[in-house]
A and B are shown apart, each in its own frame.
Chain A
Amino acid sequence: DVKVTQSSRYLVKRTGEKVFLECVQDMDHENMFWYRQDPGLGLRLIYFSYDVKMKEKGDIPEGYSVSREKKERFSLILESASTNQTSMYLCASSLNRVGGYTFGSGTRLTVV
């Protein structure tokens, strides 16, 4: 069974901390994505990557960065966590354009 695994289900961090969210996929997919889900706003794209060491900004990249050193791993970094980054973070991967996404279970991050 193919999988996208997010390292943490729940995280609580303090304002100003640097936060790493890890995502690993075992499907050899080229494309990986980070979204955040907030009530009434749906899923908004933060960053995505089409290949190793390649990254593109999504719709809301401010305050975030990403790293993709290996094909299977895509990390989201909150450089200095703020309370408005409290959210559900979802990682996804896809093989091709119409193959659809496979999502991880999500990380609920609370910044206090």
Chain B
Amino acid sequence: SQQGEEDPQALSIQEGENATMNCSYKTSINNLQWYRQNSGRGLVHLILIRSNEREKHSGRLRVTLDTSKKSSSLLITASRAADTASYFCATDAPWETSGSRLTFGEGTQLTVNP
């Protein structure tokens, strides 16, 4: 089963609206990251939140982390058509070893209509 499961699987909104995506995970983490992927392209890092942080902002992005519920949310405010992409959360391995994996969730396909 996936370490990270995302909700919703697909989201369609109008330009200017806010988009919220949720991610749940199963094991303990050191940090959680969000990535964006345009169709058929490489993933691009958006934001990293550490396990001792509850909220983090970067431009129009706001990420929250609730380690007690093993969940995170990504909020994109004032969405633009260019935000159309798949968004993945990724968690690091609970063991502490350099070069260990990031495990990706199933992703949310966001469509922002002009």
A and B interact physically: no
